[in-house]
């Protein structure tokens, strides 16, 4: 009796924790503590609006909005105006996006159901209702992916001499080579596991390639097993080029799954293989660490990274010819239902086809390369410090080079007058030249402080390694604030110049990652402004030391002032519109899902404020609803580069306040992360950001999608208007040294 009461109490505690945090823990882990929120005094209070009477339809569900984004990505793969291999890339991006969606968002909803959380989110959907809708939409999206691959992209690639050949299309010469490849490169590392009482179903790695095999006959020990599992190590390449001497075309490839399938009988000598089907399991990949109970976050995360590979199953993908018995068996082993089953006509991991793009040397089937440009003021300068001291510099990536930021850190590392370097590192790459410069600076005796965010999702392992490297050379490495991810992008260099110390600062909307900076659109500010430098210094003091949050002069910061300041700026436009004065808001971001901000925008719309929102991904605001949001337009740009810029413009009585930020308008960014939002005060640069980062995207009629009042997106049609592609226009204007 006592045990049953204890279990019931544990379930109740878990349900409460799940309901508060919105993301309950795995069933195999203790309930996660409630995520801290900033005190109410920091958050600001949304203005009461008539939308409360409108009900649930005032908002769009976050998860369903994310699936809409993935559909827009998939539409790029259908666009015949794009280079063929780039269309394939968009297909693989859609696939990897869906993987993460299931690993995090679907996993979170399933955990809420497991803990009995039945309350609806602000959009009105309960977890069970959201999961049902997700299943319907996601199944249709996956079917569309494979139909596009098999009916359109593979035939188009074959026309260009690029083939991923199925087993039934292999010539005798290819079959001979494949057999030798299997015996030499594949078979030695495979371990078939017959399933019997002494060999239970193995732990299957998250998103790994596996086979369920139906075998008949007795083995060497007289056992009749019936079923076996073959797990394929991740070390093996999934796409293998056929040697030119054996290939039918210039670029012939075979999938590893096809090679193994063709030779499965060799793994079971003397047995008869009656069926062989590939499958893949997607698991809950959200890490759980009780940050208040661990003494060393780095060591705790190291332990959790291994468990991520074996989290609770959330999705099962199987070959579409998989037998009903094998499918039912797999679902039972994974504790999943039919709604979680996805039958696919092709490789179970489409993202692996991205390797084809790198292996094929066909520039005519890819985007034309470009050289990022440099602002005129930077070209030919001998000292980056001199340039920044003379005035602020804005860099618009990837159209303009990230080089000046790297040059600033490298110059600081070797400059005898530089005393200290402080930097936040949320995401960066292995062998980062920026990190190498920090290491060199630490070795030369400079005071180097690196705030490494160990909890950057899916980059935890890389960041742990990065932190270790920096610690080994004597840098001060800190991991941020318990309960709040540090997402701000800040770099500060302290340099002695004569009798005074001067701070040089870089603030950005994107990460210090030289790889993504070539693929993401972002803005960065280089400045020696004294007040901004002092603000950045105060934020670093918060993050590395102890003490109350001190007042900042120029910067806005989450979780303390940013949300409240956004409310204030939106309300100022609302009041102006009510008074009959001009009022306008133009904002660009990745996602918009914070209910308080949405309510303020609704109130502004009702007052007559003209609002244009450029939201790449999730948007929970419903535009164009009469009496609620008819003055709000929402559009999404999906193009060659991932739109990542966060920039907010307010008319402000004609002063045109322009702010750039590391934060989206989401609850996590505004209440549960350390973020910075910085002003662009130079009038010339302010106008430049409006002209480059906002207006072209409002005119775009090539890669733009408009969100309707029904929650559906439709392509913006050009009609008789002049063709405008914001990204192409910016490439032409800014790249390769051209700058107006």
Active-site residues, by number, are 487
User: What tokens were used for 117?
Assistant: 């959380």
Q: What is the b/e burial string over 238-258, where b = at least 16 CB atoms within 10 angstroms of the residue's CB?
A: bbbebeeebbeeebbbbbbbb
- Four-residue CA torsion sign, 97, 100, 101, 102: positive
Nearest alpha carbon to residue 688 among 677, 680, 699, 679: 680
C-alpha–C-alpha distance, residues 291 and 296, integer Å? 9
Q: Is 44 strand, coil or helix?
A: coil
C-alpha–C-alpha distance, residues 517 and 634, integer Å? 26
DSSP letters for 391-433: S-EEEEETTB-SHHHHHHHHHHHH-TTEEEEEEEESS--TT-H
**Cα separation values, 570 from 43, 181, 417, 701, Å:** 15, 64, 44, 28
Helix (H) or strand (E) holding 728: helix 726-734
C-alpha–C-alpha distance, residues 656 and 481, integer Å? 34
Nearest alpha carbon to residue 344 among 209, 460, 184, 253: 209
Q: Is 661 strand, coil or helix?
A: strand
Beta carbons of 641 and 523 less than 8 angstroms apart: no
Angle formed by the axes of helices 433-443 and 460-472, nearest 10°:
20
The one-character DSSP state at 691 is: I
> Cβ contacts of residue 516 below 8 Å, gap of 6+?
427, 510, 642
Q: Is 371 strand, coil or helix?
A: coil
Beta carbons of 258 and 166 less than 8 angstroms apart: yes
Beta carbons of 490 and 552 less than 8 angstroms apart: no
C-alpha–C-alpha distance, residues 738 and 372, integer Å? 9
Beta carbons of 389 and 498 less than 8 angstroms apart: no
Helices (H) and strands (E) in the chain, counts: 23, 27
Nearest alpha carbon to residue 316 among 326, 308, 306: 326
C-alpha–C-alpha distance, residues 397 and 516, integer Å? 10
The one-character DSSP state at 551 is: P
Beta carbons of 230 and 267 less than 8 angstroms apart: yes
Cross-strand pairs, 393: 526
């Amino acid at each position: 009796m006592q045990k049953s009461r204890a279990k019931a109490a544990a379930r109740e505690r878990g349900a409460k924790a799940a309901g508060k945090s919105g993301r309950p823990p795995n069933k195999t882990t203790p309930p996660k503590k409630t995520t801290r929120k900033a005190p109410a005094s920091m958050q600001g209070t949304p203005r009461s609006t008539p939308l409360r009477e409108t009900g649930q339809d005032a908002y769009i569900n976050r998860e369903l909005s994310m699936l809409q984004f993935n559909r827009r990505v998939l539409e790029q793969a259908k666009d015949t105006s794009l280079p063929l291999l780039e269309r394939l890339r968009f297909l693989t991006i859609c696939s990897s996006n869906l993987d993460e969606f299931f690993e995090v968002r679907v996993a979170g909803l399933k955990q809420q159901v497991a803990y009995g959380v039945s309350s609806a989110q602000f959009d009105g959907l309960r977890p069970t209702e959201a999961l049902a809708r997700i299943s319907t939409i996601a199944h249709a999206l996956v079917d569309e992916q494979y139909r596009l691959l098999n009916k359109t992209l593979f035939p188009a690639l074959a026309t260009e001499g690029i083939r991923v050949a199925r087993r039934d299309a292999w010539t005798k010469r290819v079959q001979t080579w494949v057999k030798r490849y299997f015996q030499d490169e594949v078979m030695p590392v495979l371990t078939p596991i017959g399933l019997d009482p002494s060999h239970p179903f193995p732990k299957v790695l998250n998103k790994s390639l596996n086979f369920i095999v139906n075998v008949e006959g007795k083995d060497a020990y007289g056992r009749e097993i019936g079923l076996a599992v073959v797990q394929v190590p991740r070390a093996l390449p999934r796409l293998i080029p056929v040697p030119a001497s054996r290939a039918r075309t210039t670029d012939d490839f075979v999938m590893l799954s096809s090679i193994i399938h063709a030779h499965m009988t060799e793994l079971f000598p003397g047995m008869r293989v009656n069926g062989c089907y590939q499958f893949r399991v997607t698991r809950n990949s959200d890490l759980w660490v009780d940050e208040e109970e661990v003494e060393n976050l780095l060591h705790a995360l190291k332990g959790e990274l291994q468990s991520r590979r074996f989290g609770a199953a959330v999705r099962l993908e199987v070959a579409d010819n998989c037998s009903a018995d094998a499918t039912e068996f797999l679902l039972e082993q994974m504790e999943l239902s039919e709604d979680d089953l996805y039958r696919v006509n092709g490789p179970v991991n489409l993202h692996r086809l991205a390797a084809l793009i790198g292996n094929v040397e066909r520039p005519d089937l890819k985007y034309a390369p470009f050289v990022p440009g440099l602002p005129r003021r930077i070209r030919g300068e001998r000292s980056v410090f001199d340039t920044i001291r003379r005035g602020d510099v804005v860099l618009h990536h990837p159209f303009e080079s990230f080089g000046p930021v790297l040059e600033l850190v490298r110059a600081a590392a070797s400059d005898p007058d530089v005393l200290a370097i402080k930097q936040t590192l949320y995401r960066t790459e292995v062998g980062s030249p920026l990190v190498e410069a920090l290491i060199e600076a630490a070795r030369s005796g400079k005071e180097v402080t690196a705030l490494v965010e160990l909890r950057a999702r899916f980059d935890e392992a890389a960041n742990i390694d990065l932190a270790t490297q920096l610690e080994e050379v004597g840098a001060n490495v800190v991991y941020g604030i318990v309960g709040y991810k540090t997402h701000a992008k800040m770099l500060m260099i302290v340099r002695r110049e004569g009798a005074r110390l001067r701070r040089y600062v870089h603030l950005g909307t994107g990460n210090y990652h030289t790889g993504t900076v070539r693929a993401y659109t972002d803005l960065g500010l280089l400045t020696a402004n004294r007040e901004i430098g002092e603000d950045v210094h105060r934020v670093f003091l918060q993050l590395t030391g102890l003490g109350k949050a001190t007042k900042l002069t120029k910067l806005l910061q989450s979780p303390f002032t940013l949300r409240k300041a956004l409310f204030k700026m939106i309300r100022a436009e609302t009041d102006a519109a009510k008074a009959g004065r001009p009022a306008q808001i133009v904002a660009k971001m990745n996602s918009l899902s914070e209910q308080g901000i949405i309510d303020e925008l609704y109130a502004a719309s009702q007052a007559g404020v003209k609002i244009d929102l450029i939201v790449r991904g999730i948007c929970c605001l419903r535009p164009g609803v009469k009496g609620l949001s008819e003055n709000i337009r929402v559009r999404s740009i999906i193009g060659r580069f991932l739109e990542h810029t966060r920039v907010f413009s307010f008319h402000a009585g004609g002063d045109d306040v322009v702010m750039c930020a590391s934060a989206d308008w989401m609850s996590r960014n505004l209440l549960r992360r350390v973020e910075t939002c910085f002003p662009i005060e130079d009038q010339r640069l302010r106008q430049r950001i409006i002209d480059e980062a906002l207006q072209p995207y409002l005119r775009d009629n090539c890669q733009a999608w408009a969100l309707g009042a029904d929650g559906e997106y439709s392509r913006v049609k050009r009609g008789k208007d002049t063709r405008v592609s914001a990204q192409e226009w910016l490439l032409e204007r800014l790249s390769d040294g051209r700058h107006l």
